[in-house]
Structure formats: structure tokens, C-alpha cells
Amino acid sequence: MFKAIVSADTLESALDSVSVLVDECKINLNEDGLAIRAVDPANVGMVDLSLAADAFESYETDGGIIGVNLARLEEFVGMADSGQLVQLELDEETRKLHIQIEGLEGTLALIDPDSIRQEPDLPDLDLSAEIVVEGRDIDRAVTAADMVSDHIALGVDTDEEVFYVDAEGDTDDVHLTLTREDLISLEAGEARSLFSLDYLKDMDKAIPKDTEVRIELGEEFPVKMHFEIAEGKGKITYMLAPRIQSD
Amino acid sequence: MFKAIVSADTLESALDSVSVLVDECKINLNEDGLAIRAVDPANVGMVDLSLAADAFESYETDGGIIGVNLARLEEFVGMADSGQLVQLELDEETRKLHIQIEGLEGTLALIDPDSIRQEPDLPDLDLSAEIVVEGRDIDRAVTAADMVSDHIALGVDTDEEVFYVDAEGDTDDVHLTLTREDLISLEAGEARSLFSLDYLKDMDKAIPKDTEVRIELGEEFPVKMHFEIAEGKGKITYMLAPRIQSD
Amino acid sequence: MFKAIVSADTLESALDSVSVLVDECKINLNEDGLAIRAVDPANVGMVDLSLAADAFESYETDGGIIGVNLARLEEFVGMADSGQLVQLELDEETRKLHIQIEGLEGTLALIDPDSIRQEPDLPDLDLSAEIVVEGRDIDRAVTAADMVSDHIALGVDTDEEVFYVDAEGDTDDVHLTLTREDLISLEAGEARSLFSLDYLKDMDKAIPKDTEVRIELGEEFPVKMHFEIAEGKGKITYMLAPRIQSD
């Protein structure tokens, strides 16, 4: 059993954060909210989303897992105007999801969860540096790096106490340096890892510009990026595997 | 002889309502205004437009028929800013249309009316239900239906006293229900017909969102949609033939 | 040696005026400012740009010539928000240009100036008519002409004291007439020349709509168009060779 009412804006933000990485996903329906974990087909980028029951206007479930095509579900939810409510209800028999938005009623066929890629484990990692930045700084770094290269290095310089971004192309390069004053916070430990820009660009799309993003970074280790939606009632973590340093 | 001055906005609205269905049309120049009737090449969608003489700043004609390429004429009229006036004048000798917009003068070659598809008759139909809705509700129904299907059923449920829209795809479906309170008016009679969504999407493009649309609907019969432009001085009727119910 | 700080808006306007014609150019660094002259590969359209030292927040050079890929340089400058400053510094050893924008640092490889097309001479011409119009009038003329033709005639009618634009297509044509009242000024001499619309469209893109453009025009002679950016501290001249009159 699953029946919930939620603002279209909250549901869209939640779904967007997953759909930048995968086309289909399993949604875990728990008493205290819903949760999605997914990894892209190449096992490089992962997302872990939780949306607490109190992010919803109303929320009832006795648990379960449903499989959804994200693009189709987002299209349905996109029929709502900003500020409108979306009612979701699972039809256990037909395995379809009923969606209601002010007089509009849709039925969306679900996907057999067993046919969807297995959910990844997001490992606990002991990462040496932790940086908190605004979403817009990640956007700026990614946009700048994209001009010259298809990979990007994120690092912390403990001597200078700065968080930096390096992108080196064949002829041109860019560097972005954020000092302790530019950052919301910096717990400096030696850290530098190289990442594929394509994945970071996808993740950047789903990160609100005016949100705080907590970045955990290590030495040639995966990066974790944590941020919140729905006034803290939704929590998203991205994890991105490093590329081997080529130089 | 034909010579007229009209606001660019009025002329654009009028031409748009026809150009969503056909590329070329005949314009009937009558003393009391101009009129266009056209049907798409597949004989499925028809439009009947009349723009009264008093929708113009000035209007003079001794009658006649001209053939125009709608896209070209719209391009010329589109040179005007919103609020500017467009002057049209027929050159009988060269069979060209002179267009003037604040210092800009254009000459548009006309098309031999005999080379254009014959104008259709829009039959009088005795349709059982009449519904008046806002243009934005038609837009909402068409957009929702388009997510799941390429056809759309419009109907009236006399028991429930509702106007409804159904679209059924292979796996998903949507339903929109508008009660008497949601509607501007409802004269209920049993009615349900299936239509091609492509045509309805084209017609929807030309229907202002904030206008009242009077829909006449029957049982597996064509639908008629009536609305006005230019403060009631322009009247447009669309007629759309039904598709055979496949279920 | 070259080191300068300039508002991103000023630098973008300057570069845009050149990049509509060519992909690469030489920038002449002089004590009193920088200068660019370039001609398109077909030798039809030329640009002459000067940006005075006082258009910069700071400007230092001992002279020299650098070759740049305009699209790359514009992409870097485009990283700045409107109102931000861009710092440029030439690294003589590596022959690279360092660009700094608020914490963001980029390095752009320069091009060997000898590999770039030679700079053209913009000849002194004794043109019979001089017209001053607003940029938006050029835009309007170009847009209208583009509906019907791929070439455009600019002319002055000394009897009527008007500046006119003619475009004749296979079936349709447009004419724009600007009287002495519509113009900022008119020094009438007999003049009419035909031009390729493609070039004029490119130049039009770089001409601000609200700027004064001084047009020098002759009889089957090149046209010159002069306008300013950066509050008069940047001066741009376009010269466009005429097409042979085909009629």
C-alpha cells in the first residue's frame, strides 16, 4: 500500500537528482519516507536520495519497492504547475501508479524492480578533506573546466588553505581557487582526485545554485557531495569514482 | 479593389488560426469583412474564420478572392511590432499585395485562387452536448494526452454532469474531468468521440489560453470549437472529424 | 609586455564585433590601446576596431602583436558575469594569455600571428552620401530584406531626401524608406550600391540596437559603417564591398 500527497516542486527536485544519472530506478517505500539508490551503467556515478515522510502533505505506506521509468514519471509530474499538489497511489493489483493533479488523473505502468540494475552500496569512506561551498561555485567550476577539458581535478592545498579546481586541456587550462573566505567551511586535509567532467556536469544540473553542498574529498579517492532539498526533508548524496591520473 | 488598415496583432491572430491547418488559402473579400474557410489535405480538420470590417482601422473592398501563401504573409506581418498598424492594398494589375508598416513597404506575390484546394462546407450538425471552457483547459488536456497517446476522446457524462477527456496509451493513460463548477457552462447530452491528437494540438496552438471556447460534441461525430479574437470582431470555428473507435 | 584589466562587457562587445567576420585575428597592442583589423576569407567584409587605453581599468604594454582564436577567448571572457572585471596578462615565454576573473584563472594558447591572414587596408574612399541612423533601423532593414532576397541595395534619393533600402526576390520585394525626420542626420549625395545580405546580417549582429551608426555610401562603391562602444572609447568601422548589380 502506498498513498501520498506531495508538492510538485519537491517531487520534481527529488526525481531530477536521480534522473541525471539513470533512466529507471527502484523506489523504496518505507514508513519514514521514500529512498532511492542508483548507479549509472558504467558504475562511476552513484546517487542516494531520501525524502522523509514529513516532506509530504500526507504519506502512508506499509512498505515495498516499485520500479519506475523516471522520464515518464517526471513528464506526468511536470503537468502540475509550480505550487500544485500531486497525489500518488499504488494500485497493487495492476502494479500501476495512479497520479492525480487537480482534476487530471493519470495511470503510469510500473517496471518490474527485478529488471532494474541492482542498487549500489555507497561505501563509508574516510576522506581527508571536507569543504562546504555554494551550489553556484560548483556550477562555475564545471562550466569553466568544460571549456578546456573532459576531466577535472578537485583538490585541497593545506598550506594555502584553499579548495581548488584544475582542468587541463591540450593547449589551454583553467584553475579556480576558493579561499577559506570564499567557502562556507573548510576542514583541510591533503586531497586531490581527478574526475570525469561528464558525470560532474550531470550532477551539477541537479544541484540548486543557492544550496550548500558539503564535499568530502580524498587522495585519488571518490568524491562525495551532500546537499538538501525540501527544506532539509530531502537529502541527496552523490558519489563519483575517480579517474586514474594520467600525468 | 481592396485596401485596409489593421493592427498587426489582430491580423496575426487571424492568420495563425488558419496556418496551423494549411499552407495556402483563399481569402474572401466581402463588403462586411474578410472570410477564410480551409480544410487540411486529409480532409480531417477545417477552419472557418470571419474578420468583420469593424475589426479594421479602415476597410474598403468591392469584393473578390485572393490566394495567399500564409507563411510568407505572416512573415511580412511579423515585421510589425506589437501595436503597430499594417496597411494592405491589392494591386489588381500585378495581382500582388502591397503591405506597409511604418516606412517599410513590401510586395507579396499572390497565388492563383484556382490552384488552391477548394473551400470546404462546414456542415450544420445537430450535436447533443455543448460545453464552454477556457482555452487553457484545452491546452492542459491536449498536453496531458500527448504524454501517452496519439488520439484523444472527448466526452460528456450526463449522470455525473462532467466533461471529460480520455487518452489511452499502450501502457499508460490520462483522464481529465471538468465538473460543472470547472466549466463556464455545460449543456449535457450523451456524447463521446475519438479524435486524432495531432490535429487537436495544431488547433490548440491557435486558441488563446484566456479565451472562452464553445465546444459542440456528439456521439462519434465531428467536434466543433468556436472562439473569438479581436474583441469579438473575429470569429473562428474549427471542425475536426472523428476517428473510428478502435476499442 | 601586456597586462590589462577591463570590464567583461566592454571586452565582449569589442571581440563580438570582430568574431562575426573572422575566427582568428591579430591584436595590435599599442601604448594608447589595442587595435584589430581583419577581413573575411572572401575579402568582402572588413572590420577595424580600436579600444583606447582609457576604456580599460588599467592598461600597460610595451607594444607587440598577439594572435588569438576569437571563439576560445570569448568563451573565457563569457565566464565573467556582467559587470565583473577581466584581467589579461601575456606570458612572453610560453606565448600564452593568462586570464583572471574573480578567483578563476585560465591560460589560453595564442596563435602565431604569421599564420593568420594579413590585415587589410581600409582604404580612404570619397563617398557621396553620409547617413546617421539608429542601430535598430539597420536591424529592421536587414530582417525585412532577409524575407525575400539574399542581397540588399542601400541608396540615397537626393530629390526626395531619403535613405532607402531595397530587396528584390524572385516574386516578392521589400522597401524601407527613412526620411530626414526618421534619420539622425543625412548629408545627401546620389548613392546606391548592392550588397550581400549574409555579410550585412553578420555585421548587424554586432551593432547595438540603441547606438548611432554613421553610414558612408556611394555609387556602386563599398559601404562604411561606423559606431562606438564603451562610451566612445571603442570605435568600430565595418566596410563591405559591393556586389555587381545584376539588373
What pLDDT is recorded for position A231?
95
Helix (H, G, I), strand (E, B) or coil at B74: helix
Q: Choose the closest CB to A177 out of C76, C103, C109.
A: C103
| Spans in chain B with pLDDT lower than 50 | none
Measured CA to CA, the distance from residue C221 to residue B128 in angstroms comes to 72
| Whole-number Cα distances in Å, C208 to A56, A77, A170, C204, C236 | 50, 42, 36, 8, 12
Residue A76 pLDDT greater than 80, yes or no: yes
Give the closest-approach CA distance of C166 to chain B in angstroms.
9
Cell reading at C88: 589579461
Contact A174 C109 (CB under 8 A): no
- Name the phi and psi angles at C199, rounded to 5: -65, -45
Q: Which residues 6+ apart lie within 8 Å of C164 measured at CB? A: C154, C155, C156, C157, C175, C176, C177, C178
- Nearest chain B residue to A80, by CA: B140
Sheet with A104-109: strands ordered across? A58-61, A2-7, A85-91, A96-101, A104-109, B173-179, B162-168, B151-157, B191-196
Give the closest-approach CA distance of B173 to chain A in angstroms.
5
Using a CB-CB distance cutoff of 8 angstroms, which residues of chain C are in contact with residue B107?
172-174
- Nearest chain A residue to B170, by CA: A109
What pLDDT is recorded for position B245?
64
Count the alpha carbons within 13 Å of C105 in the hemisphere toward its beta carbon.
11
Residue C39 pLDDT greater than 70, yes or no: yes
**Residue A106 in contact with residue B173, Cβ under 8 Å?**
yes
Residue A219 pLDDT greater than 90, yes or no: yes
- Nearest chain B residue to C176, by CA: B104
Residue C119 pLDDT greater than 60, yes or no: yes
What pLDDT is recorded for position B186?
96
At A210, the amino acid letter reads D
Domains of chain B: 2-115 (3.70.10.10), 129-240 (3.70.10.10)
Give the closest-approach CA distance of C115 to chain B in angstroms.
43
Using a CB-CB distance cutoff of 8 angstroms, which residues of chain B are in contact with residue A76?
147, 174
- Nearest chain C residue to A142, by CA: C79
**Residue C135 in contact with residue C213, Cβ under 8 Å?**
yes
Neighbours of B31 (CB within 10 A): 10
Contact B105 C172 (CB under 8 A): no
Contact C106 A173 (CB under 8 A): yes
Measured CA to CA, the distance from residue A181 to residue B145 in angstroms comes to 52
| Whole-number Cα distances in Å, A214 to A222, A235, A238, B3 | 14, 12, 10, 69
- Nearest chain C residue to A143, by CA: C79
pLDDT confidence of C146, banded at 50, 70, 90? very high
Angle between helix C135-148 and C197-206 (nearest 10): 150
**Residue B186 in contact with residue B131, Cβ under 8 Å?**
yes
Give the closest-approach CA distance of B194 to chain A in angstroms.
18
Measured CA to CA, the distance from residue B171 to residue A94 in angstroms comes to 11
Contact C176 B72 (CB under 8 A): no
Measured CA to CA, the distance from residue B143 to residue A4 in angstroms comes to 24
pLDDT confidence of A244, banded at 50, 70, 90? confident
The percentage of chain C sitting over the pLDDT mark of 70, rounded to a whole number, equals 99
Measured CA to CA, the distance from residue A156 to residue A177 in angstroms comes to 9
Give the closest-approach CA distance of A242 to chain C in angstroms.
23
Q: Choose the closest CB to A182 out of C103, C105, C109.
A: C103
**Test mutation, B138, B142, B146, B148, chain A, max A CBs within 10 A:** B148
Using a CB-CB distance cutoff of 8 angstroms, which residues of chain B are in contact with residue C140?
79, 104
Mean pLDDT, rounded, for C139-157: 96
- Nearest chain A residue to C108, by CA: A172
Measured CA to CA, the distance from residue A184 to residue A131 in angstroms comes to 8
Q: Which residues 6+ apart lie within 8 Å of A42 measured at CB? A: none
Give the closest-approach CA distance of B210 to chain C in angstroms.
31
Using a CB-CB distance cutoff of 8 angstroms, which residues of chain B are in contact with residue A109?
171-172
- Nearest chain B residue to C175, by CA: B105
pLDDT confidence of C245, banded at 50, 70, 90? low
Could you tell me the end-to-end alpha-carbon distance of chain C, in angstroms, rounded to an integer? 54
Residue C220 pLDDT greater than 80, yes or no: yes
What pLDDT is recorded for position A245?
64
Measured CA to CA, the distance from residue A23 to residue A19 in angstroms comes to 6
Mean pLDDT (chain A, rounded): 96
- Nearest chain B residue to A105, by CA: B175
What pLDDT is recorded for position B244?
77
Q: Choose the closest CB to A75 out of B147, B177, B179.
A: B147
Helix (H, G, I), strand (E, B) or coil at A8: helix
Contact C106 A143 (CB under 8 A): no
DSSP state of B31: T
Contact B79 C140 (CB under 8 A): yes
Rounded-to-5 percentages of helix, strand, coil across chain A: 20, 45, 30
Residues forming a β-bridge with A163 = A156, A178
Spatial CA neighbour of B227 closest among B152, B134, B126, B122: B134
Touching subunits of A (3+ CB pairs, under 8 Å) are B, C
Contact B174 A104 (CB under 8 A): yes
Phi-psi region of A83 (alpha: psi -120 to 50; beta: other; left: phi over 0): left
Does this complex have an ipTM over 0.85? Answer: yes
pLDDT, tens digit, for every residue of A102-140?
989 999 999 999 999 999 998 999 999 999 999 999 999
Helix (H, G, I), strand (E, B) or coil at B126: coil
Contact C174 B109 (CB under 8 A): no
Q: Which residues 6+ apart lie within 8 Å of C178 measured at CB? A: B103, C131, C133, C137, C162, C163, C164
Contact A172 C107 (CB under 8 A): yes
Contact B104 C140 (CB under 8 A): yes
Measured CA to CA, the distance from residue B48 to residue B18 in angstroms comes to 8
**Test mutation, B101, B105, B112, chain C, max C CBs within 10 A:** B105
Measured CA to CA, the distance from residue C204 to residue C152 in angstroms comes to 13
pLDDT, tens digit, for every residue of C49-70?
999 999 999 999 999 999 999 9
Neighbours of C197 (CB within 10 A): 18
What pLDDT is recorded for position A246?
56
Q: Choose the closest CB to C172 out of B72, B79, B103.
A: B72
Phi-psi region of C83 (alpha: psi -120 to 50; beta: other; left: phi over 0): left
Contact B108 C175 (CB under 8 A): no
Q: Which residues of A touch C (CB under 8 A)?
A: 140, 143-144, 147-148, 171-179, 182
Measured CA to CA, the distance from residue B209 to residue B55 in angstroms comes to 21
DSSP state of C200: H
Give the closest-approach CA distance of B137 to chain A in angstroms.
11
Alpha carbon A233 to chain centroid, angstroms: 14
Query: Nearest-5° angle of CA B185, CA B187, CA B191?
Result: 120
Using a CB-CB distance cutoff of 8 angstroms, which residues of chain C are in contact with residue A179?
103
Work out the burial of residue B34: count CB atoms within 10 Å of its CB; fewer than 13 is exposed, 13-18 middle, 19 or more buried: buried
Contact B174 A103 (CB under 8 A): no
Query: Nearest-5° angle of CA C163, CA C168, CA C169?
Result: 155
Contact A72 B174 (CB under 8 A): no
**Residue C38 in contact with residue C22, Cβ under 8 Å?**
yes
What pLDDT is recorded for position C173?
96
**Residue A133 in contact with residue A183, Cβ under 8 Å?**
yes
